[in-house]
Amino acid sequence: MAKAEAAKEVRRKQLIDATIRAIGRVGYASATLTHVASEAGLSPGIVNFYFKSKEQLLVATLEQIAEEYSTFWQQAINKGKVSPAAGLEAMIEADFHPTVCNVEKVSIWYAFWAEARSNASYHDVVHNLEQDYLAQTATLCQRIIQEGGYEEVSARDVATGLNAMIDGLWFDCLMEPKSFNRSEAKRICRLYLASVFPAHFSGGAAKRGKGDNDNGVVVALDQETQGRHAHRARLAAALRKRMEPVGPLRREVLAASAGISVKMLESWLDGRAEPNSWQMGRLIVATDAQLWFEIYGPMHEETQRLFDSRLAQAQEQATRERAALAALANKKE
């Protein structure tokens, strides 16, 4: 009996893995049990023996990738017991691990995000996963805030920003899989955290005062670009461009596509509130990919500016140190 159950589980996993490949190849709407059977190298009858319907198979697929993702989380959270910064580092590593972040898995996530509005089974899994991720990330951020004395920083804002950034980089993986660079994606996330928590994500340097840096040059994030108000303003402007009478979308249609009320959509259009990353994913599906770049592009550009400035400072410092060493050597001679 035990061997039979084990064999059954192996076969179920084989079919779920085939479902992931099938959706990655032909898309969520087009994938059929016949596609799954072909990917698995089995007959359609075998698929029907283990899963009575496509819906049952899809729910099992979502549950498996969610469980797999949660397993990576738990490893990251355990590292957070050593230090919260190590926990966030581990979560970034988990988010861009090849097992989690690949074009097939990301295709699956975006497909389920888009369908979650009309399917309660999907919605519950996706929503619970989203909320758990945000809560765990915010907890680690709050511990860093307490350790480093970042009094004016909101743990939830930082967690929301990191989550949105990771979702956006996943979208890059989906749209440009050949050029997507995992190391670069992780570097961008760490750079974002370094801009908020410099004492924890800048090589262990002591916490600096406002506007301070190693070389006396002011390097600070532009709050007009990075701030919550600026983010909401960009979101509102991007959405208004797509709304009637300027754009092609009606408020009722977009709200329904995003799985929200018209009242909530209006709060985004007015700049009073903003979507969580799950809702942002649905907005991108309902509108166009350019939406993400209009909202988060300036923040990425500002982060790159900060990185380039710090790199230039480091190179300048290294040049001065080499010159000082050369002068000392000449003096000894």
| CATH superfamily for domain 218-333 | lambda repressor-like DNA-binding domains (1.10.260.40)
Query: In terms of pLDDT, which residue wins out, 94 or 330?
Result: 94
Q: What pLDDT was estimated at residue 65?
A: 81
Q: What pLDDT was estimated at residue 10?
A: 80
Q: Where are the beta strands (DSSP E) in 83-138?
A: none
Q: What pLDDT was estimated at residue 45?
A: 82
Per-domain boundaries in the chain? 1-52, 58-177, 218-333
Contacts of 178 (CB under 8 A, 6+ apart): none
Alpha-carbon distance 44 to 234, whole Å? 49
Q: What pLDDT was estimated at residue 9?
A: 76
Bridge partners, 257 (sequence order): none
Q: What pLDDT was estimated at residue 67?
A: 83
- Burial state string for 56-92 with b = 16 or more CB within 10 A and e = fewer than 16: ebbbbbbebbbeebeebbeebbebbeeebbbbbbbbb
Q: What pLDDT was estimated at residue 155?
A: 92
List, for residues 18-70, the tens digit of each pLDDT value.
Answer: 887 887 777 777 777 888 888 888 787 888 787 877 778 888 888 888 888 88
Percent helix, strand, coil in the chain, to 5, is 75, 0, 25
Answer yes or no: is pLDDT of 331 > 50: yes
Mean pLDDT of the chain: 77
Residues above pLDDT 70, as percent of the chain: 80
List, for residues 75-109, the tens digit of each pLDDT value.
Answer: 767 766 778 888 898 889 888 988 888 887 887 77
Answer yes or no: is pLDDT of 4 > 80: no
Q: What pLDDT was estimated at residue 48?
A: 78
- Which candidate, 234, 269, 235, 238, places its Cα nearest to that of 251? 269
Q: What pLDDT was estimated at residue 303?
A: 60
Q: The whole model's pTM is what?
A: 0.55
Answer yes or no: is pLDDT of 124 > 90: no
- Mean pLDDT on 265-294: 78
Quickly name the fold that domain 58-177 has.
Tetracycline Repressor; domain 2 (1.10.357)
List, for residues 158-173, the tens digit of each pLDDT value.
Answer: 999 898 888 888 888 8
List, for residues 195-227, the tens digit of each pLDDT value.
Answer: 888 888 863 333 333 333 333 333 344 444 445
The CATH architecture of the domain made up of 1-52 is Orthogonal Bundle (1.10)
3-state per-residue secondary structure call for 213-270: CCCCCCCCCCHHHHCHHHHHHHHHHHHHHCECCCCCECHHHHHHHHCCCHHHHHHHHC
